[in-house]
């Protein structure tokens, strides 16, 4: 059973060793805790936290938190109790960006605000806990978004069974963001680590390619998983379909996927997306397979070569140029994947319910 964490973080005074993880959370990517300075506070990590945001909240640097808790570069897990050291109160670097907000003006309507920010009325209601359409001038509505560092949270027991025959229990919904467009918001539920990895990869594209258009997001899973129309998989919250990036947004995109040959493909931005997923695959919660048309692999391969990566470095990634049936490659050719990238993520380590 997965224990749901509280909606807000709790900080209590004390000192000592890092406490154990909450029930249902996996120990992943964190070294055994070290005692922090005496008099420091304790902080319990909740969904959406990052070392960056926690450090700034307490006037510390990320390095201060890593040293105080013996943390490595692995993901930060929900339920982790961090020892907060005594810091100067002046953290270095920029503070994390806040989520987007809209201040209601006279004459505003939910439908008008939704259209302005490329979202839906139902999503605005959900984000702001509204039960109707009444809004008042001066009211602040949360829109979503933000560009802060995205941490990876791994929760046991969410993805049950196999992608082709499974369910999703207490999953996470991919939130609204100006960086991507959710084609079917009812089908963007997934395991928490899947949602976090997808958001982090897309955020990396936006940092590397400022001004890039919104990415089309296809299906992940239904809220409870199970059979999804049009798919043989996508049943356990570990599969996600991602669109492509284009130099000029083609007609119909991002409401629908568009084939690479039917638009002016931005191979550089698309490679940045795939490369971010490749890097994530080296972690215990990252992608285990990426399905992509062979010819499209070739376009990304050429960009990767021009960026300085050697043939040897790319060999375990792409089947191209060794043929679409080359074995033991992360990116694999599957027919009808020339307009999107299908990513399948790993099961959480030691989670026997996930296959």
pLDDT in tens, 40-59: 678 888 766 677 767 766 77
- Average pLDDT of the segment spanning 123-149: 75
Categorize the per-residue pLDDT at 256 as very low, low, confident or very high, splitting at 50, 70 and 90: very high
- Region of 39 (left: φ > 0; alpha: ψ -120 to 50; beta: rest) is left
Question: Bigger pLDDT: 190 or 102?
Answer: 190
Is 21 in the same domain as 51? yes
**Is the pLDDT at 255 greater than 50, yes or no?**
yes
Expressed as residue numbers, the domain containing 112 is 100-144
Q: How confident is the model at residue 61 (pLDDT cuts 50, 70, 90)?
A: confident
SS3 of residue 307 by DSSP:
coil
Q: Is pLDDT at 9 greater than 80 in this prediction?
A: no
Name the token pair of 143.
């829109």
For residue range 281-337, list pLDDT tens digits in order.
999 999 999 999 999 999 999 999 999 999 999 999 999 999 999 999 999 999 999
Of the residues 55, 84, 113, which one is the last residue of a structural domain? 84
Q: Is residue 75 part of a domain?
A: yes
Whether residues 38 and 172 fall in one domain = no
Same domain, 75 and 40: yes
Confirm whether 180 is domain-assigned: yes
What residues are paired with 155 via a beta bridge?
Answer: 25
First to last CA, the chain: 17
Residue 30 is given by DSSP the state B
Domain membership flag for residue 197: yes
pLDDT of res. 48? 60
CATH number of the domain residue 237 falls in: 3.30.1380.10
Q: Which two tokens stand for residue 68?
A: 């105080």
146 vs 66, 101, 120, 142, CA distance in Å?
24, 10, 18, 11
Same domain, yes or no, for 283 and 337? yes
Query: For 189-211, what is the mean pLDDT?
Result: 94
Whether residue 347 is predicted with pLDDT greater than 90 in this model: the reply is yes
- pLDDT of 34 > 50? The answer is no
- With 0.85 as the threshold, say if the pTM is over it: no
Per DSSP bridges, beta strands 189-190 and 172-173 are antiparallel
Of 351 and 33, the structure prediction assigns the larger pLDDT to: 351
Cα 328 to Cα 124, 242, 243, distances in angstroms? 44, 22, 24
Whether 179 and 275 share a structural domain: yes
What percent of the chain is modeled with pLDDT above 90? 57
- pLDDT class for 8, splitting at 50, 70, 90? very low
Q: Has residue 274 been placed in a domain?
A: yes
- Residue 26 sits in a domain whose CATH number is 3.10.350
Q: Is the residue at 2 inside a domain?
A: no
The whole-number average pLDDT for the span 146-173 is 88
Residues 206 and 302 in one domain: yes
- Shared domain check, 132 and 199: no
Helix (H, G, I), strand (E, B) or coil at 299: helix
State the pLDDT confidence band at 131, using cuts at 50, 70 and 90: confident
pLDDT at position 29 over 70: no
H helix or E strand, kind and range, residue 288: strand 287-291
More confident residue, 145 or 235: 235
Higher pLDDT, 302 or 62: 302
Helix (H) or strand (E) holding 207: helix 192-208
- Which of 43, 58, 84 represents a domain boundary (last residue)? 84
Residue 126 and residue 53 in one domain: no
State whether 259 and 336 are in the same domain: yes
Among 94-98, 272-276, 351-355, the least confident range: 94-98
The Cα–Cα gap between 14 and 220 comes to 42
User: Is the same domain home to 177 and 305?
Assistant: yes
Sequence length of the chain is 355
Classify residue 194: in a domain, yes or no.
yes
Q: Is residue 91 part of a domain?
A: no
pLDDT at 205: 94
355 occurs within a structural domain: no
What is the SS3 assignment for 278?
helix
Q: What are phi and psi of 45, to 5 degrees?
A: -70, 135
DSSP H helical ranges for 85-184: 110-116, 121-128
Dihedral sign (CA 17, 20, 21, 22): negative
pLDDT-derived band at 160, boundaries 50, 70, 90: very high
Q: Looking at the structure, do residues 170 and 265 belong to the same domain, yes or no?
A: yes
Are 80 and 134 found together in one domain? no
**1's tokens:** 């059973």
pLDDT recorded at residue 299: 98
CA distance linking residue 131 with residue 134, whole number of Å:
9
Identify the pLDDT of residue 164: 98
pLDDT value at position 47? 63
For the chain, how many structural domains are there in total? 3
């Amino acid at each position: 059973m997965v224990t749901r964490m509280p909606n807000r973080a709790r900080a209590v005074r004390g000192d000592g060793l890092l406490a154990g993880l909450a029930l249902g959370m996996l120990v992943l990517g964190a070294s055994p805790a070290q005692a922090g300075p005496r008099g420091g506070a304790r902080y319990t990590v909740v969904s959406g936290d990052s070392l960056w945001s926690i450090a700034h909240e307490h006037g510390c640097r990320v390095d201060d938190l890593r040293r105080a808790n013996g943390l490595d570069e692995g993901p930060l897990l929900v339920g982790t109790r961090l020892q907060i050291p005594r810091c100067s109160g002046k953290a270095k670097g920029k503070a994390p960006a806040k989520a987007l907000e809209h201040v209601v003006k006279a004459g505003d309507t939910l439908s008008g605000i939704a259209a302005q920010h490329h979202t839906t009325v139902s999503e605005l209601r959900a984000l702001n806990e509204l039960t109707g359409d009444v809004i008042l001038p001066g009211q602040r509505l949360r829109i979503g978004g933000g560009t802060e560092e995205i941490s990876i949270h791994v929760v046991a027991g969410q993805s049950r069974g196999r992608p082709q025959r499974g369910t999703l229990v207490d999953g996470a919904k991919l939130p609204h963001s100006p960086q991507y467009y959710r084609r079917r918001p009812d089908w963007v539920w997934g395991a928490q680590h899947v949602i976090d990895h997808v958001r982090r990869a897309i955020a990396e594209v936006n940092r590397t390619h400022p001004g890039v258009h919104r990415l089309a997001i296809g299906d992940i899973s239904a809220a409870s998983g199970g059979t999804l129309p049009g798919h043989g998989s996508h049943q356990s919250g570990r599969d996600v379909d991602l669109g492509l990036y284009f130099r000029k947004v083609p007609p119909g995109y991002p409401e629908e996927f568009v084939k690479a040959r039917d638009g002016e493909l931005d191979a550089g931005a698309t490679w940045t997306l795939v490369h971010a997923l490749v890097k994530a695959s080296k972690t215990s919660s990252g992608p285990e397979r990426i399905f992509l048309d062979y010819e499209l692999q070739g376009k990304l391969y050429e960009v990767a070569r021009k960026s300085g990566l050697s043939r040897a470095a790319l060999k375990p990634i792409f089947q191209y140029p060794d043929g679409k049936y080359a074995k033991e490659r992360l990116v694999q050719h599957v027919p009808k994947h020339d307009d999107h990238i299908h990513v399948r993520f790993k099961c959480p380590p030691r989670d026997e319910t996930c296959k």
